[in-house]
Structure 1
Amino acid sequence: MRVTVLIYSACITLLILIQSTVLDYIKVFNVKPNLLIVAVITVALLRGNVEGAVVGFVLGLLQDASSGKILGFYSLLGMYLGLIVGSVNKRLYRENFFVMIFFTFISSILYEETVYILLTISKGNIDFVYSLKNIVFPEAVYNSVASILIYIIVIKINKKIEGAAKSSRKY
């Protein structure tokens, strides 16, 4: 259990650093991928809804702290995303790239559209077409491409975690 927490902590720190520094320089159509969403989806698909919800909550809380707007907004969205995506992991072949790309694409659209609606609802000027065309859809495509690399890394980490858990059992 301690090894899992250490590995998750190191990966989360690395993702936060990459998200806040390097990705600002590789924007496509003025949109950068959201690696935090991709990480939540990946963990939820591979490890289940509980770990997906915990990782989603922690990553969301860190995103709340870095954005400085509303504390708890992204953490609740991340937790629900991890919970929902993780609840279907037992029904699918989890180590399939197409499953990961599909879930990343759909989840990115739903997550970002929810963020857009909730953050602009107070202004009263919600433009679904603009947000889908200029923000949400390009980011979903970018997240889907980035998910392939993250998925390969997380699969290797997941196999090491499961191997360590099997070797530590005494029965």
Structure 2
Amino acid sequence: MRTIVVWAGLLLGTIAVQSVLLPLIFSNGTKPDILLIIVVASGLLAGRERGVGIGFFAGVMQDFASGNIFGLNTLSKMATGYIAGLAERKVFKESMVLPVLAITMATFFNSVSMQALLLLLGYKVELIPMLQYQLLPSLAYNILFCIPIHRLIYRITFGNRSQF
């Protein structure tokens, strides 16, 4: 029960900060996707079931908060959490390189999957401006925040057994 309360509090607090505070700090609408970092870290550290579950709830909350096409963030975050969770048994969880590599790949995958879903829904997608003005700055911010968030998720997942 405690675990559910901790995860719910973390996700609710993160969506509040990501929706209200980060747009005031970061310019041009490009900001870190902290929910994506949490989804990737939970998948890497706890497996695909946790990655999909956290991805679902994070995506639903982000869909509600953004006002965009409902389900877009949910599907992309669930898929990203599942793929991150596939690597759970194959990685050294205490590595400092792991979060950086994982969030780099996950940011690209999440963005490509969202653009593919938009194309499937019949929306026009311009890849070069999206890459230049949205994906690359967001990737830089995600890399900046990934190590501290990965450490936080490690402590939530494994408790005080941390050597991190």
**SS of equivalent to 2:49:** helix
The residue that corresponds to 2:67 in the other structure is: 68
Q: 1:109 to 1:5 in 2, by over 3 A?
A: same
CA distance in 2, matches of 1:63, 1:161: 30
CA distance in 1, matches of 2:23, 2:100: 23
CA distance in 2, matches of 1:61, 1:28: 25
For 1:104, the aligned partner's letter is: I
- How many residue pairs match? The answer is 161
Structure showing greater radius of gyration is 1
* Matched ranges for 1:7-156 at <5 A: 7-27=6-26, 30-119=29-118, 122-124=122-124, 126-156=125-155
Q: 1:161 to 1:3 in 2, by over 3 A?
A: farther
Per-residue deviation, residues 13-63 of structure 1 (Å, max 9, x unmatched): 111111011111221564110111011001111111000100000111111
CA distance in 2, matches of 1:45, 1:26: 29
Q: CA deviation at 1:72?
A: 2.4
Q: CA deviation at 1:97?
A: 1.9
Q: CA deviation at 1:69?
A: 3.2
CA distance in 2, matches of 1:45, 1:65: 26
Aligned-pair identity (%): 24
Q: Is 1:45–1:94's contact at 8 Å kept on the other side of the alignment?
A: yes
Per-residue deviation, residues 127-166 of structure 1 (Å, max 9, x unmatched): 3222111111110111111111211212222222889xxx
CA distance in 1, matches of 2:160, 2:153: 10
Per-residue deviation, residues 95-150 of structure 1 (Å, max 9, x unmatched): 212111111011101211322343356244x3322211111111011111111121
RMSD over aligned Cα, in angstroms?
2.0
Question: TM-score, structure 1 length as denominator?
Answer: 0.85
CA distance in 2, matches of 1:58, 1:30: 23
The residue that corresponds to 1:6 in the other structure is: 5
The residue that corresponds to 2:156 in the other structure is: 157
**SS of equivalent to 2:92:** coil
CA distance in 1, matches of 2:51, 2:89: 13
Question: TM-score, structure 2 length as denominator?
Answer: 0.88
For 2:42, the aligned partner's letter is: V
Structure 1 portions without partners, runs of 5+: 164-171
